């Protein structure tokens, strides 16, 4: 069977049979102003040879800079076995399957993924992945509104210390569905959210509180106190977590007296390369009591009629192909390969390996901060314990410093001035296990030169 179902002759025969002259005649009843027009501003198509050349040139422009940028996407070592397995033909589809009869191998892989992510976050049940960390937060907020039946307000409290891009995506996706996102201030000394600052919300109808750990600044939040505060207000708790950090930090399922209700985050640190920003994958877990409000697919293990173990899709009845407009979500597929990379990565490095990656990243970041703050005009912004990122304040404009470092082939960090102008000239820096002491020394040397040349000027 040819891949394209209709030849020009087939189309002609079909049109003749119904008495239409042209294909466009079939759409005539749609008013002209509602019809999609040709896209403008799009260059002509390139052939494979041309596009290959263009992309190779663009990739070369990136060079092989030493990167100290984190801010939500992290450079970690990826064992070569991860992508060797993911790109095998048997697995090679980006889609999480709809069909109950889907390949047992794919279903088993998703089941293993769910088991690992549920165990990592300390919660009972995981879905089969989401698009990315930012949309996972939006889905978690929508889910909290469905799950918290004591709350009518659809008010979600979001600390400023949550990744600002995530907050923006959550607003874009859920803002038109009557959800209200309210920002919470952070402590300017510690770079964290203070429980006392939530006092003014006590006694009000709050649907959920979001807590990011480690937060966007890399600072550790008082997760136990925040979780307990939210539960006292009958609000659910949504944790946004870095999966690598869970190798050494307390699982969200254990935060406070009861643990969080929903955990979500960005899966990229688990075996997915940075790739200029994507594709990545999101993850989400929850307690059994909320499982029917969770978006996406879930694979379960069962036995067939001969008593043999097998894997199958469960809880599909609330999905888009059955529940249509009332589905729990309409975005829950497509990240199959990336989810698989995360699963293989976790299986290869194991719990001890993940703890090592996390600890090494913390150690490298401390070494980086120590080296950088010894430079005149560079100091840390916050005094609280941190994971593998830190905010540095500079005596020179961050954008200038970054571009001078880039000229030395060093990506020196993330400029915070767009989202956090109150911090002045501030950089978010990160070092993972991929950075050696000589990488750190190279950065410190370059930054020293850049800061000194400014004073001389």
Partner 1 sequence: MSNVPTDLKFTKSHEWIRVLPEGIAEIGITEHAQQALGDLVFVEVPESGREVSAGDASAVVESVKAASDVYAPVSGEVVEGNAALAETPELINQDPYGSGWLMRIRFSNSAELDSLLDARAYEEQLAGEAH
Q: Which residues bind partner 1 (CB under 8 A)?
A: 149, 292, 317-318, 322-323, 326
| Residue whose token pair is 């004073």 | 455
List the beta bridge partners of residue 158: 183
Question: In Å, how far are 23, 24, 36, 44, 166 from 39, measured between CA atoms?
Answer: 20, 18, 8, 11, 30
Whether 229 and 198 have beta carbons less than 8 Å apart is answered as yes
Backbone CA torsion sign across 87, 351, 299, 304: positive
Whether 327 and 335 have beta carbons less than 8 Å apart is answered as no
Phi and psi at residue 197, in whole multiples of 5°? Answer: -70, -10
Question: In Å, how far are 105, 443, 447 from 450, measured between CA atoms?
Answer: 53, 10, 5
Question: Cβ of residue 322: shortest distance to partner 1, in angstroms?
Answer: 6
Q: Closer to partner 1 at the Cβ: 187 or 327?
A: 327
Tokens standing for residue 201: 């919300």
Compute the distance between CA of residue 81 and CA of residue 344 in angstroms, rounded to an integer: 8
| Residue whose token pair is 């210390």 | 161
What secondary structure does DSSP assign to 28-85, as a single string?
Answer: TTS-GGGSPPPPSSPPPP--HHHHHHHHHHHHHHHTTPEE---TT-------HHHHHH
Residue partners of 97: CB distance under 8 A and separation at least 6: 103, 106, 107, 297, 313
Q: Where are the alpha helices (DSSP H) in 374-436?
A: 398-407
CB hemisphere CA count around 238 (13 angstroms): 34
Whether 445 and 190 have beta carbons less than 8 Å apart is answered as no
Question: Cβ of residue 318: shortest distance to partner 1, in angstroms?
Answer: 5
Phi and psi at residue 95, in whole multiples of 5°? Answer: -85, 135
Q: How would you classify the pairing of strands 298-303 and 309-314? A: antiparallel
CB hemisphere CA count around 259 (13 angstroms): 15
């Amino acid at each position: 069977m040819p891949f394209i179902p209709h030849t020009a002759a087939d189309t002609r025969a079909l049109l003749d049979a119904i008495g239409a002259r042209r294909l466009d005649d079939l759409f005539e009843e749609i008013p002209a102003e509602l019809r999609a027009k040709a896209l403008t501003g799009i260059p002509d198509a390139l052939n494979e040879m041309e596009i290959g050349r263009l992309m190779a040139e663009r990739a070369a422009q990136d060079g092989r800079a030493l990167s100290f940028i984190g801010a939500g996407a992290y450079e970690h070592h990826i064992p070569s076995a991860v992508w060797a397995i993911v790109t095998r033909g048997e697995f090679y589809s980006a889609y999480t399957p709809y069909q109950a009869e889907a390949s047992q191998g794919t279903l088993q892989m998703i089941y293993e993924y769910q088991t690992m992510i549920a165990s990592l976050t300390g919660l009972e049940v995981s879905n089969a992945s989401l698009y990315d960390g930012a949309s996972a937060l939006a889905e978690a907020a929508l889910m909290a509104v469905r799950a918290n039946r004591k709350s009518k307000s659809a008010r979600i409290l979001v600390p400023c210390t949550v990744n600002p891009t995530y907050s923006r995506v959550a607003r874009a996706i859920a803002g038109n569905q009557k959800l209200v996102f309210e920002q919470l201030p952070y402590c300017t000394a510690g770079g964290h959210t203070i429980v006392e600052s939530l006092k003014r919300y006590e006694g009000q109808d709050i649907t959920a509180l979001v807590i990011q750990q480690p937060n966007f600044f890399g600072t550790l939040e008082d997760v136990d106190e925040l979780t307990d505060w939210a539960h006292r207000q009958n609000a659910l708790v949504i944790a946004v977590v870095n999966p690598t950090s869970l190798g050494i930090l307390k699982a969200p399922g254990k935060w406070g007296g009861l643990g969080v209700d929903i955990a979500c985050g960005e899966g990229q640190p688990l075996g997915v390369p940075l790739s200029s920003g994507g594709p990545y994958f999101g993850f989400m877990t929850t307690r059994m009591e909320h499982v029917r409000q969770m978006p996406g697919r879930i694979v379960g293990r069962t036995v067939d009629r001969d008593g043999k173990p097998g894997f199958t899709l469960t809880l599909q009845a609330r999905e888009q192909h059955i529940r249509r407009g009332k589905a729990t979500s309409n975005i829950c597929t497509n990240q199959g390969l990336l989810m698989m990379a995360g699963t293989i990565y976790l299986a290869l490095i194991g719990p001890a390996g993940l703890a090592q990656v996390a600890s090494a990243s913390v150690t490298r970041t401390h070494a980086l901060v120590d080296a950088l703050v010894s430079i005149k005009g560079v100091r840390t912004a916050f005094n609280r314990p941190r994971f593998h990122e830190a905010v540095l304040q500079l005596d020179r404009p961050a954008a200038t410093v970054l571009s001078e470092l880039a000229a030395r082939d060093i990506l020196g960090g993330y400029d915070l001035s767009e989202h956090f102008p109150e911090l002045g000239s501030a950089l978010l820096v990160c070092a993972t296990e991929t950075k050696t002491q000589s990488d750190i020394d190279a950065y410190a040397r370059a930054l020293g030169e850049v800061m000194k040349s400014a004073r001389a000027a």
